[in-house]
């Protein structure tokens, strides 16, 4: 249905593109972005006529009297109806074939699998640890939704951990702008707070908050909580004196395959690292090394876009979060460092029947397929007058300069669920300076200590339904959508200040719009 709509759309259709991002969409890619290849190998090139139709349908609107065509279907033909329960993010793409849905179900089983310590009665489930953050993917991404910081001393930090690195290491000459870092000699690149018997856990997470009052227009106020993170109860000696820690909460899982299918050139079209158009927005592409394709590629996944593909994101999580080896990360000890000798010498779950690793390529591909095809729920109340007013506030306040509303994915041979879909993720997948308040002061790839990838907003209004909370941002410090907005700084400072100063009814409409996504 959506493919028919795009194919029949007249070239002359004109949704006015505000000057806000007009220059961004015409920005040529500088030399250090050249050669960035797309994730997919089976792309059908666009014709000039098709590109013109796509540009028209994805241009920003200046008509807020009604919803745009197909706007309620955030994931195109893959969209599913919005369920009013915790399973809303756990549905397969609506356009999967019967056979593909079976693969999705098997992948779901592997995603939910509780791994156990080796040796075990079955080779299919052993290999956990020795150090880990969770026993399954589902334990962090509960119901495929967002994680959260611990809520009091009795709550586990199972869906949150600290990344760690130190300055230095070998620069990656193949990637322009790469900021060299290296693993902490005792603790590696990720701190694990669980361990198998006979092994010490690396740490326990400590968080202290300090609240500040923010005055808003109309006599309204909000309170922001600024966190301080500490690595306590260290199991393997002190951290390196230059150790840089960065908190990470597990993100929601929906729509990942669609984000992977957005053409590289469509993402780079919004990049403006020197702010050539003078609008204060300087989005930069993250470029990272792909283990699968053995070359630099555009980073898309993770809070700092540190992975180029869903496959690599999945394999990295198996190794770092659960201690499970795969063809991409074949070490049976997971994240254990050379200094953790007992950990490296422990029995692992690798088996010749699984190609000498704990999850083989077949299993990894099934988990990846599951992750790529978690469907985006349909939007709610797209024609509600307050939602439409909130959409206008979102656009005119400049939020769309980073949270780009829509794209059309690649046309792919084989007609996969992600092929040629009009989608509404509300992200540019680029790195932006978010100000000192959100800075973790830890570089990753080309991202410096103040930069974060623009988070997709689709599904954000269903967070409480799925996850039972409303914690947002990379570390869950924001307790609601308004707090998340008020933490924006750096390139987003102007948009944030407009939200503070706008009439209260416009601010309420903006939140109502976000809740409809």
| pLDDT of the residue at 25 | 34
pLDDT at 7 over 80: no
pLDDT grade for 68, boundaries at 50, 70 and 90: very high
Query: Cα(357)–Cα(355) distance, rounded to whole angstroms?
Result: 6
- Give the residue-averaged pLDDT of 136-150: 94
Q: Which residue has the tokens 């609107």?
A: 61
Q: How many CB atoms lie within 10 A of CB 34?
A: 7
Query: Cα(247)–Cα(476) distance, rounded to whole angstroms?
Result: 9
- Give the residue-averaged pLDDT of 469-487: 98
Query: Cα(90)–Cα(132) distance, rounded to whole angstroms?
Result: 24
Query: Cα(495)–Cα(485) distance, rounded to whole angstroms?
Result: 9
| pLDDT of the residue at 2 | 38
Give 114-127 pLDDT, tens digit per residue: 999 998 877 788 99
Query: Cα(201)–Cα(197) distance, rounded to whole angstroms?
Result: 10
- Give the residue-averaged pLDDT of 484-506: 98
pLDDT at 9 over 60: no
What is the side-by-side strand order in the sheet with 181-182? 181-182, 160-167, 244-249
pLDDT grade for 157, boundaries at 50, 70 and 90: confident
CA dihedral 486, 490, 495, 499 (to 10 degrees): 20
Give 54-64 pLDDT, tens digit per residue: 999 999 999 99
- The strand pair at 244-249 and 160-167 is best described as antiparallel
pLDDT at 5 over 80: no
In this structure, what are the phi and psi dihedrals at residue 206, rounded to the nearest 5 degrees? Answer: -110, 135
* Entry field: residues in the chain: 517
- Give the residue-averaged pLDDT of 279-296: 94
Choose the weakest-confidence range: 40-49, 66-75, 388-397: 40-49
Residue among 304, 302, 303, 247 at smallest CA distance from 477: 247
| pLDDT of the residue at 67 | 97
CA distances from 482 to 53, 101, 121, 392, 429 (A): 36, 38, 50, 17, 22
Radius of gyration of the chain from Cα atoms? 22
- The strand pair at 160-167 and 204-215 is best described as unpaired
| pLDDT of the residue at 310 | 98
| pLDDT of the residue at 32 | 58
Q: Running DSSP on this structure, what letter comes out for residue 478?
A: B
| pLDDT of the residue at 85 | 97
pLDDT at 464 over 50: yes
Cis peptide, bond prior to residue 19, ω within 30 of zero: no
Residues 205 and 229 sit within 8 Å (Cβ to Cβ): yes
3-state secondary structure of 234: coil
% of the chain residues with pLDDT over 70: 93
CA distances from 34 to 37, 242, 274 (A): 9, 34, 17
Give 228-253 pLDDT, tens digit per residue: 999 999 999 999 999 999 999 999 99
Q: Which residue has the tokens 């601010």?
A: 507
pLDDT grade for 34, boundaries at 50, 70 and 90: low
pLDDT at 37 over 90: no
Residues 27 and 351 sit within 8 Å (Cβ to Cβ): no
State pTM to two decimals.
Answer: 0.93
- Give the residue-averaged pLDDT of 29-57: 83
pLDDT at 15 over 50: no
| pLDDT of the residue at 22 | 31
pLDDT grade for 286, boundaries at 50, 70 and 90: very high
Determine the Cα angle at 272 with ends 507 and 259, to 5°. 70
| pLDDT of the residue at 507 | 98
| pLDDT of the residue at 6 | 40
Residues in CB range of 33: below 8 A, 6 or more apart: 268, 271, 285, 287
CA dihedral 491, 493, 496, 500 (to 10 degrees): -170
Q: What is the mean pLDDT of the chain?
A: 92
Query: Cα(166)–Cα(230) distance, rounded to whole angstroms?
Result: 16
């Amino acid at each position: 249905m959506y493919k028919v709509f795009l194919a029949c759309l007249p070239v002359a259709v004109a949704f006015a593109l505000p000057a806000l991002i007009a220059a961004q969409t015409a920005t040529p890619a500088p030399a250090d972005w050249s050669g960035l290849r797309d994730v997919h190998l089976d792309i059908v090139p666009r014709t000039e006529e098709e590109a013109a139709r796509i540009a028209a349908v994805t241009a920003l609107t200046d008509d807020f009297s009604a919803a745009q065509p197909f706007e309620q279907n955030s994931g195109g033909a893959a969209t599913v109806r919005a369920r009013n329960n915790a399973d809303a993010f756990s549905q397969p793409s609506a356009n999967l074939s019967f056979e593909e849905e079976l693969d999705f179900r098997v992948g779901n089983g592997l995603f939910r699998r509780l791994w156990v310590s080796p040796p075990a009665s079955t080779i299919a489930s052993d290999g956990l640890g020795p150090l880990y953050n969770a026993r399954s993917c589902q334990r962090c991404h509960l119901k495929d939704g967002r994680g959260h910081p611990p809520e009091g001393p009795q709550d586990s930090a199972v869906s949150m951990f600290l990344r760690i690195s130190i300055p230095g290491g070998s620069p990656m000459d193949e990637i322009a702008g790469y900021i060299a870092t290296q693993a902490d000699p005792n603790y590696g690149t990720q701190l694990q707070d669980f361990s198998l018997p006979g092994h010490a856990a690396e740490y326990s997470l400590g968080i202290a908050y300090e609240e500040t009052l923010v005055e808003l227009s109309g006599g309204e106020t909000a309170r922001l909580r600024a966190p301080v993170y500490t690595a306590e109860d260290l199991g393997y000696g002190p951290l390196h004196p230059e150790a840089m820690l960065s908190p990470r909460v597990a993100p929601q899982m929906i729509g990942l395959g669609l984000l992977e299918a957005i053409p590289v050139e469509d993402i780079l079209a919004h990049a403006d690292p020197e702010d050539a158009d003078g609008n204060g927005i300087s989005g930069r592409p993250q470029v990272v090394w792909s283990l699968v394709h053995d070359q630099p590629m555009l980073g898309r996944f993770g809070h700092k876009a540190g992975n180029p593909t869903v496959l690599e994101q999945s394999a990295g999580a198996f190794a770092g979060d659960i201690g499970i080896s795969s063809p991409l990360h074949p070490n049976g000890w997971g994240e254990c460092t050379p200094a953790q000798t007992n950990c490296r010498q422990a029995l692992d779950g690798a088996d010749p029947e699984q190609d000498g690793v704990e999850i083989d390529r077949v299993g990894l591909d099934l988990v990846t397929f599951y992750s790529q095809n978690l469907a985006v729920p349909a939007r709610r109340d797209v024609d509600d007058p307050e939602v439409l007013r909130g959409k206008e506030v979102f656009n005119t306040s400049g939020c769309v300069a980073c949270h780009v509303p829509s794209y059309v994915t690649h046309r792919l041979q084989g007609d996969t669920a992600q092929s040629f879909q009009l989608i509404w993720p509300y992200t540019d997948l680029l790195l932006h300076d978010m100000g000192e308040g959100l800075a973790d002061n830890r570089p990753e790839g080309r991202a410096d200590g103040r930069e974060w990838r623009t988070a997709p907003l689709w599904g954000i209004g269903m967070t409480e339904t799925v996850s039972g909370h409303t914690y947002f941002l990379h570390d869950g410090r924001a307790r609601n959508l308004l707090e998340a907005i008020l933490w924006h700084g750096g390139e987003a400072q102007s948009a944030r200040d407009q939200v503070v100063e706008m009439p209260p009814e416009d601010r309420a409409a903006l939140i109502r719009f976000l809740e409809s996504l």
